[in-house]
Amino acid sequence: MTDGGTTKSEGDWYYCLKHKKVEEGMVCPARNRLGPYRTEADASRALEISRERNEAWDDDPRWR
């Protein structure tokens, strides 16, 4: 389903940076979303997961 230039797809979860909430499907534009995540719970942890991944990459010797 298309809605205002975005596509709603069931089953994938995203965290919307603009609205600061979890959304099922691609509700908001890609520039405002983190994801997809497999579960709503994972999407609710999107900022924490992103921070953890950034820290891991910062400590990865392959990036130095």
Nearest to 22 by CA among 37, 7, 4: 37
pLDDT class of 1 with cuts at 50, 70, 90? very low
Number of independent structural domains in the chain: 1
pLDDT class of 59 with cuts at 50, 70, 90? confident
Mean pLDDT, residues 8-15: 79
pTM: 0.75
**What's the domain range around 51?**
2-63
Displacement of CA 60 from its chain's centroid (Å): 23
